[in-house]
Amino acid sequence: MSAVPRRRSEGEPERDALVWRALADPTRRALLDRLREGPATAGELAAGFAMSRFGVRKHVLQLVEAGLVLVEERGRERWHRLNPAPIRALSKRWLRPFEEAAGDHVLDVKRRAEQRAQKERR
């Protein structure tokens, strides 16, 4: 079963690159893990890391640029929340096709083994 490649929209490779770059850093991944628990203010995010608030802010800005974090201003507070859509898009584009290819290979090996076993019983 071969998948038909879908047409990529303009700008999609650049967006993918931003997401990959954002995910490459362990601090940014830890920030995303924290945001999986729920929205947080910048102060709450910074409290969980052994770096300055400014350092955490630089990481958050990269996550925002990649579309992985959405910011909502409520009065004087800026609330950050996880946006899982870019990760899901990467998964559909890059991980699933490889999983499907591996799954197809396993099914093919199973089919061949069953055919061989059937021939040997005859």
> Rounded to two decimals, what is the model's pTM?
0.68
Closest CA to 81 of 46, 43, 34, 21: 34
Mapped onto helix, strand or coil, the DSSP state of residue 25 is coil
In the chain, where are the structural domains located?
11-83, 85-122
pLDDT at 82 over 70: yes
Bridge partners of residue 81, in order along the sequence? 70
Residue-wise pLDDT tens digits, 18-53: 999 999 999 999 999 999 999 999 899 999 899 999
Q: Is the pLDDT of residue 91 over 80?
A: yes
Q: How far apart are CA 39 and CA 82, in angstroms?
A: 7
How many angstroms separate the CA atoms of 95 and 82, rounded? 21
Model confidence at 94, in pLDDT bands (50, 70, 90)? confident
Percent of the chain with pLDDT over 70: 79
108 vs 87, more confident: 87
Beta pairing, strands 77-82 & 69-74: antiparallel
DSSP string, 35-102: HHT--EEHHHHHHTSSS-HHHHHHHHHHHHHTTSEEEEEETTEEEEEE--HHHHHHIIIIIHHHHHHH
Mean pLDDT along residues 102-108: 62
User: pLDDT band at 4, cuts 50/70/90?
Assistant: very low
Query: Which CATH number does the domain 11-83 belong to among 1.10.10.10, 2.60.120.380, 1.10.1040.10, 3.30.450.20?
Result: 1.10.10.10
Mean pLDDT estimate for the chain: 84
